[in-house]
Amino acid sequence: MTQNWPFEEPRPRIYYDKRALTPGPPWCSLHAKCVVVDGAKAFVSSANFTQRGQERNIEVGVLIEDASFASYLAGQWLGLIEAGIVGEFVS
């Protein structure tokens, strides 16, 4: 966390797909990076939150300022958490 998020608190909560820990097939990959802020804004991107991902790769992202969409996206994540499909990364 300190290498990729050099900022002060609050730090983001980071989740990973537990299925990716088991060698495939079937293969599993979570590529989209999603951030929901205050239930009102959502950022969805292909960019990794690393120095290389931010400075060298060609990536794309979109900021959506729509509370309805942000709430829906957060709900999708909460469903994955409740189903046990994703776990929270704890540093």
Tens of pLDDT, residue by residue over 36-86, are 999 999 999 988 777 777 788 888 899 999 999 999 999 998 999 999 999
Task: Give the Cα separation of 71 and 33 in Å (integer).
Answer: 16
pLDDT confidence bin for 12, thresholds 50/70/90: confident
pLDDT confidence bin for 30, thresholds 50/70/90: low
pLDDT at residue 21, rounded to an integer: 85
Task: Give the Cα separation of 34 and 40 in Å (integer).
Answer: 13
pTM reported for the whole predicted model:
0.71
Task: Give the Cα separation of 46 and 67 in Å (integer).
Answer: 21
Task: Give the Cα separation of 74 and 80 in Å (integer).
Answer: 10
Task: With a cut of 90, say whether residue 32 has pLDDT above it.
Answer: no
